[in-house]
Structure 1
């Protein structure tokens, strides 16, 4: 697979062998004897699964009929020309998330294109999510492969992809109207529901309707207490039960915690619970704003009921800068077996301290997480340091295992973690590895920020960024790419690791190139080159020179780009770096193709293709073959060029590289247009544009321009 700086895509095959014959899903090309045209056989395209991201509703969800009626009234009052926007506000622990989840689940069939969910993290352990990070997640959920880096481009693509769709979008824990506004798509068939502790009146200009959620009425609170664990004891001692729900400020979260404690102590009278909650704190009027004190009191009682090992797990999970937890993570942080971790999570679930939000995935309510973080201070300092060390080591170990599967040719630098004490999450194959990196991307970034900000984990910070290379290379989270490498570079320099510094400069420089920041990329690659020259590291010098060539080419300076790529080739050949030399020839072949030096391009690309196949690098070999096909056709043999392009297209379909499948269709269109086959060219361009559309606005625009030129009777220049 590709090393730093080389483009690759992250998906898998569309081919199967049945009865000795190959079946291919997606577009296919027949290429035997071709005279100008390409025969396109269009198969139905597989659509990603409809997203169903809403949180589950608590089993003892109670009352709220009036709230749901009010929300329905707001929905009925919407203008049909714009999407509906509803803001649900209320104090902490009042049940905003449960209410909205219950409502949206009840009307899910009216939004058949999916339900999306985002927790903006206004009260989270890390910084609140940026709008671009949320749009990235939304677009990927709808099947978009490569998401642009600029917020304006992300928002434009979000509007394009979701136009005509009927989506229900839940935006939880919002901090401000500015955080929400870029997430609105303008599609009239969609419904957006925002929850916040604040009223977010700034969204009134966006057509929002507003609903304030209040605490439960006393009767509903008593019903919740009974259904959640109090049972008949609530009827047997109604006065004590009223005291319990009163001390819980009638907040669902606090009442559920009290009910869980009653369920765990079936012989305890409700009066004992009432006394425990009061503990001399005074009447309800003395509770602090938003009921947080009431919840804190209930949490104290629930925590006191935990067995020592579960209480320790609660404290240690509260240390982490995360919002979601799973058994493997818990096992690592608590230094216990996987079976033991699952048992501890079950205990916390039974006490209503954790919420089940998906297969083997749990989360704390905001107030519970804050309580756990406060209790974590009771852990001795060495134990806290050990738990955080285990967390960081687990992240680094698992990311390194994913890196080995996904980019085996990527030279692995130092990894400072103790493999004897932390076991990585099992990753049996590439698909699982990439899915883990994708699902954990924000957690991994939180680990990078934690290690970089702690002052003594600089090695972990840059090593973790390095191990995340397949995530950056394949999934292109451009914002995280830049932030991660900035943190990693500073950490490597503080750590005094020159190899790490060089790796951060070249890997980060590639991220800058992909976002069009070519001047900054030149500076980063230049620093990497100077560092490698001082250290006498020829391989790293070649890597930096290759990056300089890429950056100058992106900036439009093809002469300097060729000079740098030639220098990189010379150094790679001097040390016998065969695959690296092939990649340099590929870059030089692309430049020759741009200059119109067809025969030179064909020679370089043919050499690169042969070598990369021998080096077991099918992806880069297919890239070389696609450009070789274009060069061969331009050099005077269109039939041979079309066969080479057809073979490259089949390989990209097998590898699942949608971007390069689209690029190859575009090259096929250019060849057909050059050969005087406008109908064939149009079909190829339209196919390329359809593939580009969910991936890249700039490429989509280029293909649209080509087709317009054809319509006007002028070639695309």
Structure 2
């Protein structure tokens, strides 16, 4: 490149006087090249600018710049571009004297008639304004739907930026609508970028080639802005790009990068400019470049349904509203999936929407097969592009997690699935989230571990890859490791919450080495509550796989969950499934446990006749086997069934038989539980004094057995017995204490039951206002856990003359 001389610099500095934009551009170039040393030179320029006179006043500054440029190719390039820009954009009067050197095209003549034209091509640094301002942004589909929150967030980002350059990174999984969102946003603001809007696909996920290098994109962009020749090196290209764009207001959209490094040379840094990046990667490395990040999630169900309606026609959706909603929901909020499903239905106008809903509803890999159009598996192909770039360890983790029976998991579950240490599992999860194949849900409130989730279609894709690339035995082992993790952790919770129940064996194919994520009962119950859907998924998968021993053992381990949180439908399902498995095994001990524990679920759900049959079957089997403990448990269950059916005489008889057997075998805790129930029967028979004799002993024995939960139940009934005997003050104190003990134990159902008892006691004293208050507190706790109990409290409140709620 031609050196820059002090003479030409002095001349052009004079010509730029009074043009603040040209001054700013040069000052920026000098600062970039010289750093802190530039301030002294720029001060000289300011001083020279303030003096009248000729170019000689800029001589010292020009000589300093020329000297610095002689050792700085970058500064030479920026100065040469600046000189060219000034001479092309301004009418510069050149006074040629003997000591002046003139650069560029020159005509020396005494007189000129007519025009003078120069036809030489401009140099590679010439800032030639393009004949057409580039408008390269992608068109926005007329079916674009929703995303008002995301568009508002992007608009707010522009509002906060002032006149500073903006770098916005929009990331999300394949097919979620990143390109559509960015195109809609940039298109709505195109008027703010009068110098052009540029677009490039960096092809980071292309299956038929390598990602595009930033040099290739810089060449495209510079040519679009009018550059005649492009430097060969990336550094010179990037410098020329910065120089070209320094005074322009541009919008640039970049799609599908594979790294932050691929983006950096394409940033302009010009005030008022905008670079929007859409990527399946989070690109968190761009944070150091001042990027703002928007993580794009799936569409809402309503937006997905509206998109489907626009694509296939509103009339068709109105004819089959339920099928249309099913299709939208089965596409799991992924716009690409909705559009593919709609395209298939649009070319089949006489086919019912229910047919597509049924095809998608088969789930798993068949859903991906359904989502194809014109022979192309669009959704699967998009996910394949993301998978193709994964290193081997991440690819294996993706496949293993796709086999997991649960779709939401933390590092402990991932460690089991992938057979790696927890710290390695945490890294794998984070990196899969970084490439948007997993969604990061943040830390779990119970364990503090970060949770991750598969999108439904991504999970199906991972499972399909696992079926293709993993051996059958390895796939089965992956599933078994996850289920054994849940069995071991649930058993640890059972040991803390119901130690008297934790008596039967546990068998593992892969005994977990990790400690449970809790050390005390409250944490154990919180874990059971959070993991309930996954525990049930593990149980159902075990049943599907024919792992009968694991099935009944999982059901057995879930006893404290069912007893304290009362999800009745799941309670009954688990023990029905466990009973069938135990019967197939011919394991009589397991059968007895399933019958007694499952019978408790049936009776608490109000299915008294079914409960009685289960308990009677358990009693008969125990007598056949000479198992006195199980016989007593079955008799106790029969007593509970008759008590809830309000057959008090029969209930007292069965409880009496159970108490006798339990005392015979020295089962103090069991005897205490039966005394508790006999106290309850006496209360129901309006015999509070008799109830006290049972309940005082039951409370003491249960505390001695370190059974805080059942001791709280005994205290609650004691409070009702005290109220029945006329000691209302003591009764209220004991009931409030029982409520607090249940709160500490985490039992919402029994908190509600004790509050109802307080309301009953207040109502018996004719204190209607206080009764209403207790009942409303009880209703608030019953509502999320028991519809039947909530209905009973609503009826109580109506009877008092006021309906609860708005």
Tell me which residue corresponds to 1:556: 646
Verify the 8 A CA contact 1:396 1:464 in the aligned structure 2. Answer: yes
Tell me which residue corresponds to 2:633: 543
Residue 617 (structure 1) aligned with residue 617 (structure 2)? no
Match of 1:341 among 425, 434, 444: 425
Residue 497 (structure 1) aligned with residue 494 (structure 2)? no
> Residue 524 of structure 1: CA displacement?
1.3
Residue 390 (structure 1) aligned with residue 372 (structure 2)? no
Distance of 1:605 and 1:217 partners within structure 2: 66
Tell me which residue corresponds to 2:217: 235
TM-score (norm 1): 0.60
Match of 1:588 among 678, 698, 717: 678
Residue 429 (structure 1) aligned with residue 520 (structure 2)? yes
Verify the 8 A CA contact 1:529 1:541 in the aligned structure 2. Answer: yes
* Alignment CA distance shift 1:355-1:568 (3 Å): same
Match of 2:256 among 254, 259, 277: 259
Distance of 2:580 and 2:148 partners within structure 1: 43
Task: Provide structure 2 residue ranges, at least 5 long, that are not aligned to the other structure.
Answer: 1-136, 156-174, 187-197, 205-210, 222-252, 265-342, 345-370, 444-449
* Alignment CA distance shift 1:322-1:642 (3 Å): closer
Match of 2:503 among 412, 431, 438: 412
Residue 321 (structure 1) aligned with residue 318 (structure 2)? no
Larger radius of gyration, structure 1 or 2? 2
Tell me which residue corresponds to 2:567: 477
Secondary structure at the aligned position of 2:440 is classed as strand
TM-score (norm 2): 0.54
Secondary structure at the aligned position of 1:428 is classed as coil
Cα deviations across residues 448-490 of structure 1 (Å, max 9, x unaligned)?
11111112x1111111111122221222222222222121111
Tell me which residue corresponds to 1:571: 661
Tell me which residue corresponds to 2:532: 441
* Alignment CA distance shift 1:375-1:700 (3 Å): closer
Distance of 2:436 and 2:769 partners within structure 1: 64
Distance of 1:582 and 1:105 partners within structure 2: 61
Distance of 1:681 and 1:482 partners within structure 2: 34
* Alignment CA distance shift 1:225-1:545 (3 Å): farther
Distance of 1:504 and 1:104 partners within structure 2: 55
Verify the 8 A CA contact 1:513 1:521 in the aligned structure 2. Answer: yes
> Residue 263 of structure 1: CA displacement?
7.1
Secondary structure at the aligned position of 2:377 is classed as helix
Residue 381 (structure 1) aligned with residue 472 (structure 2)? yes
* Alignment CA distance shift 1:100-1:419 (3 Å): farther
Residue 356 (structure 1) aligned with residue 440 (structure 2)? yes
Task: Provide structure 1 residue ranges, at least 5 long, that are not aligned to the other structure.
Answer: 1-61, 72-98, 108-196, 198-211, 240-255, 268-283, 713-717
Secondary structure at the aligned position of 2:519 is classed as coil
Secondary structure at the aligned position of 1:603 is classed as helix
Q: Superposition RMSD on alpha carbons, in Å?
A: 4.2
Verify the 8 A CA contact 1:322 1:446 in the aligned structure 2. Answer: yes
Distance of 2:573 and 2:254 partners within structure 1: 39
Residue 487 (structure 1) aligned with residue 469 (structure 2)? no
Secondary structure at the aligned position of 1:325 is classed as strand
Tell me which residue corresponds to 2:416: 332
> Residue 590 of structure 1: CA displacement?
0.8
Verify the 8 A CA contact 1:257 1:299 in the aligned structure 2. Answer: no
* Alignment CA distance shift 1:709-1:464 (3 Å): closer
Number of residues paired by the alignment?
488
Verify the 8 A CA contact 1:257 1:353 in the aligned structure 2. Answer: no
Distance of 1:329 and 1:682 partners within structure 2: 46
Cα deviations across residues 339-365 of structure 1 (Å, max 9, x unaligned)?
221222234334433232333222333
* Alignment CA distance shift 1:506-1:366 (3 Å): same
Cα deviations across residues 60-106 of structure 1 (Å, max 9, x unaligned)?
xx9998889854xxxxxxxxxxxxxxxxxxxxxxxxxxx58847999
> Residue 640 of structure 1: CA displacement?
4.7
Secondary structure at the aligned position of 1:289 is classed as coil
Verify the 8 A CA contact 1:397 1:424 in the aligned structure 2. Answer: no
Residue 512 (structure 1) aligned with residue 512 (structure 2)? no
* Alignment CA distance shift 1:224-1:395 (3 Å): farther
